[in-house]
Amino acid sequence: MAWFNRTPEEKALRAALALVQSRPKAQGGGGGSETRWRGASRVLRSMASWIPFLGSPSKDLSTVERKTLVARSRDAMRNHLLGRAAVVRLRTNVVGTGLICRPQVDFEALGISEEEGERINTLLEREWGLYAEDPRECDAEASSTHYQLQGIALISALTGGDVFVTTPDIERQGTLFSTRLQLVETDRVCNPNGAPDTDNLVEGVEFDDAGAPVYVHVCSGYPNEKRLSKPLTWERLRVFGEATGRRRVLQVWCDKERPGQKRGAPYLAPVLEPLQKLERYSSAELMAAVISAMFTVFLKKSDTFNGGTLPLTAFGNDDQGNPQGQSPDLPPVQLGEGAVVDLAPGEEPMVANPARPNAQFDPFFTAVAKEIGAALEIPLDELMLHYNSSYSAARAAMLQAWRMYLTRRWWLVCDFCQPSYELLIDEAVARGRVRLPGYADPARRRAYTRTVWIGPAKGAIDELKEANAAGRRIEIGVSTETIEAAAMTGENWHQIYRQRRREVMQRRADGMELDAAPAAATVPAEPKQPEEE
């Protein structure tokens, strides 16, 4: 083959081989003598066939491959037990019943008193509650509250790689606001009419020379589905308002792992292959166990029966449609539960034992599930909801999983919750419902829209130990009551304090106040037991 007809990979491999032959064998050290890193060797047998390509984020996650990953991830979410467990586990722990918004106005940056800041916080929280708790206010489809939209957006982003949120202005009778949130699945954001990507357009996202998104092309339907009523159209939506610079289209990511990446990969993408094989293995073992639960019998035909050595089925059917050698008066031979079959002359029962259930199924399934959980950052105990180890191991699994849950929660807040809150406050100020002096100044606007989003608490295996540990952290000064209250109950400390204060004052007013509060020392201590190994 001529040199100019060879592929770049063949040229590189031949150049590497020539370099090996020209160098002493000792150079490079212990293995790939043409390189100083074994992982970069093209000569070692274990590495010779591993020749990946270098590409941009768009090439490494091409349109065709991404669509395949999305389709398979959705199918795994629907039909694979382990795949669905991983996705819903994130939804339950990251969002749960919804992330609650607690406004935290930066009163120092605004030059106001702390009391005035608390008054504004209460006012903004009330406005947000009117918007987030009513599906007709926040949802363009008028079917879900903001807390439900959080869970839907998270699942859609996990299975599709990303999900887009448009913010149309829709007036409705009986509502206070017109800013709506409309979730757009990843399939509907694509190039118009299936056009190929360009230098500034990748899978429906149009960006400027700096890489910032400028427009998003949203299809009126799903491109892979035929619409008989009217043809598909594409709407070119601005990501940022032309006059105000406000965010008008949100992109909720599953993961963004590379600079310049425009579209995301599904959460289950790295584990789809082992997940599919494990599901098939599990289904096969389950079916084998079902079959082995029945009394399986094979009928052995005598070689002298019917004057030949072939099985009866080889002779076909007679004129009446019955198998050769079988009387039409006899019922068909079938397996039954506790059935007794009268065998014909020349037939002998042979029992087959498939040896199920397989004793090696659980260890192998667990080993593969551990690898899948490690790739998804979910420990096996948390993934399977099976805590059969010691207290320390189970607690370590929960803590490690919650590191990932909190990271996912932070991404969801940055991509969806906080931007939608800021859009609502913008409209509330524009409508005159809330008066915030100097709100037009970007610095003051950020000071007014600072928030804390509180989600479901992580819970505890032993609540007494967790409560004592929280009290000790507060006592030695490494934590605060606000942090511990949010971590243990998911509630704001100020609300807990105000409610507790009302309860104590009501007890005193009713004459029910105890002479002395029960001390912590009066709580009977549990007998100390050796920790399980």
* Assigned domain for 33 exists: yes
- Take residue 19 and report the two structure tokens written for it: 């370099």
> Running DSSP on this structure, what letter comes out for residue 187?
G
DSSP 106-133: -HHHHT--HHHHHHHHHHHHHHHHHHHT
Cα 184 to Cα 248: distance, rounded to the nearest angstrom: 13
* Residue range(s) defining the domain that contains residue 34: 3-52
| Angle formed at CA 466 by CA 462 and CA 470, multiple of 5 degrees | 170
Number of C-beta neighbours around residue 489 at 10 A: 13
146 contact partners, CB below 8 Å, separation of at least 6: 98, 131, 132, 133, 138, 139, 181, 420
203 contact partners, CB below 8 Å, separation of at least 6: 58, 63, 66, 189, 190, 191, 197, 262, 263
Q: Which residues of 29-55 are buried (b: 16+ CB within 10 A; e: fewer)?
A: eeebbbbeeeeebbbbeebeeeeeeee
- Confidence at residue 42, expressed as pLDDT on a 0 to 100 scale: 85
Number of H helices, E strands in the chain: 17, 11
pLDDT tens per residue across span 143-166: 999 999 999 999 999 999 999 999
* Assigned domain for 362 exists: no
Longest Cα–Cα distance of the chain, Å, equals 108
* Assigned domain for 326 exists: no
Q: Which residues are paired to 323 by β-bridges? A: 317
* Assigned domain for 24 exists: yes
Closest CA to 451 of 485, 405, 420: 420
Residue at 211: amino acid letter:
G
The number of folded domains in the chain is 1
> Considering Cα of 199, then 202, then 208, then 211, what sign does the dihedral take?
negative
Full pLDDT tens readout for the chain, 533 residues: 455 566 776 777 677 666 656 554 544 445 556 788 888 888 888 888 898 989 999 999 999 999 999 999 999 999 999 999 999 999 999 999 999 998 999 999 999 999 999 999 999 999 999 999 999 999 999 999 999 999 999 999 999 999 999 999 999 999 999 999 999 999 999 999 999 999 999 999 999 999 999 999 999 999 988 776 888 999 999 999 988 889 999 999 999 999 999 999 999 999 999 999 999 999 999 988 887 777 656 666 665 545 544 444 444 555 655 555 555 555 565 655 555 666 677 777 777 666 777 889 999 999 999 999 999 999 999 999 998 888 889 989 999 999 999 999 999 999 999 999 999 999 999 999 999 999 999 999 999 999 999 888 887 878 888 889 889 999 999 888 888 887 788 777 878 888 888 888 988 888 886 554 444 444 444 445 444 44
* Assigned domain for 458 exists: no
Q: Phi then psi for 438, rounded to 5 degrees?
A: 75, 20
Cα 287 to Cα 281: distance, rounded to the nearest angstrom: 10
> Considering Cα of 375, then 377, then 380, then 385, what sign does the dihedral take?
negative
- Take residue 272 and report the two structure tokens written for it: 């789809």
Q: Which residues are paired to 255 by β-bridges? A: none
Residue located via tokens 């339907």? 221
* Assigned domain for 22 exists: yes
Cα 315 to Cα 310: distance, rounded to the nearest angstrom: 8
Q: Which residues are paired to 334 by β-bridges? A: none
Closest CA to 98 of 365, 490, 509: 490
3-state DSSP call for residue 403? Answer: helix
* Assigned domain for 17 exists: yes
pTM for this structure?
Answer: 0.81
* Assigned domain for 8 exists: yes
- Confidence at residue 224, expressed as pLDDT on a 0 to 100 scale: 82
- Confidence at residue 16, expressed as pLDDT on a 0 to 100 scale: 64
Cα 213 to Cα 94: distance, rounded to the nearest angstrom: 27
SS (H, E, C) 506-519: HHHHCCCCCCCCCC
pLDDT tens per residue across span 216-259: 999 999 998 877 688 899 999 999 998 888 999 999 999 999 99
Cα 179 to Cα 167: distance, rounded to the nearest angstrom: 6
